[in-house]
């Protein structure tokens, strides 16, 4: 069962409570370069990204938020470290949320100023702990992470601020799980999940899915981000694949395809690649099965909205549980594509 967290509004997106688990990513451009940043955000919006974070290392980046905000549709989080002036400026320039650790700000008057402005504008603040930010590795990592977050919350609460989201991240899957379980027991603020610095694509997909997946299945987590040393669009695609596979969200194409074996007599891998390439940006939920032979093929293909079961240099196309045609391998993809396009149109019209 989903943990009962408070609802927090980030621009037009609500998180926490029973709201859908939101998908986040972070731009990898120089925020000061408005056109590159906006173009990366637009690509992420098309892929389904619901909240975007940008780094704000200096004044120019904080100023750029104003122009970026005019040209994007999703809420923007300003990621700030140490400098309270950048937090104030980012809020004034339209940031929908701030990522900031108040314990990094020595002058407590600044914290009060930020809290006052954020309250006035209904801008939440995400506080967090990241193992990488400890100068020395603590003896008890979980305790140190949880107490750090509780301390950040206390500083904001003392400044009369309660519109908070929390996150605890480490690059270790088990630590991330243990620390989030612990913090989820003692606070009711929404939790942003991620395995941080999770590495290149293949490694991160596995580590992040293991860490985030376990927590989501325990009802913990209100927004997620895959951290991947690769294009940010991969983060969004991975996040949706996880949420779909846990039946927490529905979006776009879900491909059921077999690994193939000695029974397969069609080029199944290229069919799968072509479906992914041509239909990867579809928004309506569609389950597609691409199966190599008659052993499991017809069963899976019938269970999907549409599917192929391979035969001898040919394939049978199924739609909504019924065989609609048998096609030679040469024409298999073009015929399948036509049927899939028709199906997507039908689904879009009825949604």
> What is the binding site for ligand SF4 (CB under 6 A)?
258-261, 263-264, 291-293, 295-297
CB of 295 to ligand SF4, least distance (A): 4
**Cβ-closest position to ligand SF4:** 292
CB of 282 to ligand SF4, least distance (A): 24
Sign, CA dihedral 127-132-134-137, equals positive
CA–CA distance, 79 with 91 (Å, rounded to integer): 11
Nearer to ligand SF4, 15 or 268 (CB): 268
CA–CA distance, 143 with 161 (Å, rounded to integer): 24
CB of 258 to ligand SF4, least distance (A): 3
CA–CA distance, 95 with 106 (Å, rounded to integer): 23
The 8 Å CB, 24+ separation contacts for 137-143 are: 141/170, 141/175, 141/179, 142/175, 142/178, 142/179, 142/182
Strands 164-169 vs 191-193: parallel, antiparallel or unpaired: parallel
Query: Can you read off the two tokens belonging to residue 288?
Result: 């597609």
Nearer to ligand SF4, 108 or 263 (CB): 263
DSSP label at residue 315 = E
CB of 326 to ligand SF4, least distance (A): 17
CB of 300 to ligand SF4, least distance (A): 8
CB of 261 to ligand SF4, least distance (A): 3
Contact residues for 26 (Cβ-Cβ < 8 A; gap 6+): 52, 53, 54, 55, 79, 225, 232, 235
Q: Work out the number of other CB atoms within 10 angstroms of the CB of residue 49.
A: 25
CB of 264 to ligand SF4, least distance (A): 4
Nearer to ligand SF4, 247 or 262 (CB): 262
Tell me how far the alpha carbon of residue 339 is from its chain's centroid: 30
Nearer to ligand SF4, 258 or 316 (CB): 258
Nearer to ligand SF4, 145 or 258 (CB): 258
Contact status, residue 191 vs residue 166, Cβ threshold 8 Å = yes
CB of 31 to ligand SF4, least distance (A): 47
Query: In a 3-state reduction of DSSP, which class is residue 167?
Result: strand
The secondary structure element, H or E, covering residue 202 is helix 201-217
The secondary structure element, H or E, covering residue 191 is strand 191-193
């Amino acid at each position: 069962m989903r943990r009962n967290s408070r609802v927090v509004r980030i621009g037009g997106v609500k998180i926490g409570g029973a709201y859908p688990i939101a998908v986040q990513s972070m731009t990898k451009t120089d925020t000061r370069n408005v056109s590159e940043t906006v173009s990366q955000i637009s690509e992420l919006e098309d892929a389904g990204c619901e909240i975007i974070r940008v780094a704000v290392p200096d004044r120019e980046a904080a100023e750029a938020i104003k122009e970026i905000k005019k040209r994007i549709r999703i809420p923007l989080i300003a990621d700030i470290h140490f400098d309270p002036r950048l937090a104030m400026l980012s809020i004034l320039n339209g940031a929908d949320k701030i990522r900031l650790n108040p314990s990094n700000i020595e002058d407590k008057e600044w914290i009060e100023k930020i809290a006052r402005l954020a309250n006035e504008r209904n801008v939440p603040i995400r506080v967090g702990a990241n193992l990488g930010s400890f100068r020395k590795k603590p003896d008890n990592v979980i305790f140190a992470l949880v107490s750090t977050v509780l301390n950040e919350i206390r500083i904001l609460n003392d400044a009369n601020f309660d519109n908070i989201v929390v996150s605890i991240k480490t690059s270790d899957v088990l630590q991330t799980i243990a620390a989030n379980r612990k913090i989820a027991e003692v606070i009711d603020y929404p939790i942003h999940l991620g395995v941080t610095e999770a590495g290149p694509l293949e490694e991160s997909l596995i580590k992040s899915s293991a860490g985030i997946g376990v927590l989501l299945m325990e009802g913990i987590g209100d927004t997620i981000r895959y951290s991947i040393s690769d294009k940010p669009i991969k983060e969004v695609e991975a996040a949706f694949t996880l949420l779909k596979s846990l039946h927490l969200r529905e979006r776009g194409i879900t491909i059921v395809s077999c690994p193939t074996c000695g029974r397969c007599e069609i080029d199944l891998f290229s069919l799968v690649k072509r479906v992914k390439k041509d239909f990867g940006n579809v928004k309506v939920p569609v389950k597609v099965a691409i199966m190599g032979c008659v052993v499991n093929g017809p069963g899976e293909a019938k269970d999907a909205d549409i599917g192929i079961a391979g035969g001898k240099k040919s394939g049978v196309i199924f739609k909504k549980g019924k065989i609609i045609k048998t096609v030679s391998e040469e024409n298999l993809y073009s015929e399948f594509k036509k049927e899939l396009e028709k199906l997507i149109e039908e689904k879009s019209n009825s949604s």
